Amino acid sequence: MRITMIGAGYVGLVSGACFADFGHDVVCVDNDPSKIERLRAGVMPIFEPGLAELVTGNARAGRLTFTTDLAAGVANAEAVFIAVGTPSRRGDGHADLSYVFAAAKEIARACTGDTVIVTKSTVPVGTGDEVERVLHEANPDARFAVVSNPEFLREGAAIRDFKFPDRVVVGTEDAAARAVMTEIYRPLFINSSPLLFTARRTAELIKYAANAFLATKITFINEIADLCEAVGANVQDVARGIGLDNRIGSKFLHAGPGYGGSCFPKDTLALIKTAQDFGTPVRIVETVAAVNDQRKRAMARKVVAACDGSVRGKTIAILGLTFKPNTDDMRDSPAIAVVQALQDAGAKIRAFDPEGVEQAKLVLTEVDYATDPYDCVAGADATVLMTEWDAFRGLDIDRLGKAMAHPVLIDLRNVYRPDEMARRGIAYTSVGR
């Protein structure tokens, strides 16, 4: 099928490349000329394992092209996906839908036949109705159906998530649009991927409800970790003990410095605002968001406590800056709040991340960026393991300890074992153990 993806960011680029790999003809449209030129040259704007190979392979095969010309990209498309950003709106926390509506207006003017217009961006309940109104207003003669098809991609595992999804949610009650969406996702049927058709508003809410629930699991186990520290229990054993219950499950029960990234922070906030607007506040989610914000600063206090109550004038090494491994995404990363809090307390920061340094430089100032983990910890008064990159899981602990001015390790991801650290003479602090 002929598919156009509006937006060549994280969701749009991964989705477009995967659709092309299914055999569809895909055009990715973006209004950033430099990004389009880089993509044509095979240079990825983001780090995602396997993405460069997927994009370049399908581009060479002629199934994936890139353009800044939306009208040309949309003209002959059977389905147009809107995959633009919906960041939190400054001032009130609602999702900023200006990019979605702007794209809808341009699409309406460019449509030439029956077109299925799909909102892939994460949008609040009722956005599809508004997109439909915008389309009609911009082009009363256009023939289209508006569908909701939320994404459930994990950064660092997005290609596998797209090709082997737990579910594909499609919100539409239009028979013709349903047929088009079924054909688009037909290559997944061999994997028995459940294609879940719902009403459009239901599909929009599924995305927010899923992210809010996962954020709740993370925040829950983080609070249990605090309780474990107070009573002398082990949060990893607690997580395993409850996670083996298949009603609960083990995923997202890893204690740490709080959630971040491009989805959970903004999506929980958008759900909170939507619920308030409709007079049905989601108190649990409100608490989750508040607790998560507080936790990041609390992790900085944990570091200070491990440094005998003061970091003033001390050099603190930070291993990992991105909000999770296998991505260069710094959006709402817990490392931002931890680094800034330590700087406020007078610490000097040296940091290393396998992929996130360039993005980190855009949000963190007065940080000395190192070239590898051992360069990072050399002469440091303490080391903080922030992100559980594979490169940090097998560190030479003896070398690490000798390189530091003081062998102090604050492991905010529970990568290492306390007894092993004690044997190696490392003053070790972890979370919930």
Active site residues: 263
Please report, as a single letter, which amino acid is at residue 2.
R
Cα gap 430→299, rounded to integer Å: 10
The single residue listed with the structure tokens 């990159």 is 389
Cα gap 153→356, rounded to integer Å: 19
Cα gap 32→9, rounded to integer Å: 10
Cα gap 221→256, rounded to integer Å: 9
Residue 82's nearest CA partner among 53, 55, 65, 102 is 102
Distance between alpha carbon 339 and the CA centroid of its chain, in Å? 20
The single residue listed with the structure tokens 């990992």 is 320
The Cα-based distances of 16 to 54, 160, 246 in angstroms read 10, 14, 34
Cα gap 33→43, rounded to integer Å: 13
Q: With beta carbons less than 8 A apart as the criterion, state whether 14 and 158 touch.
A: yes
**What backbone phi and psi angles, to 5 degrees, belong to 371?**
-100, -15
The Cα-based distances of 409 to 110, 167, 306, 311, 422 in angstroms read 58, 41, 8, 14, 11
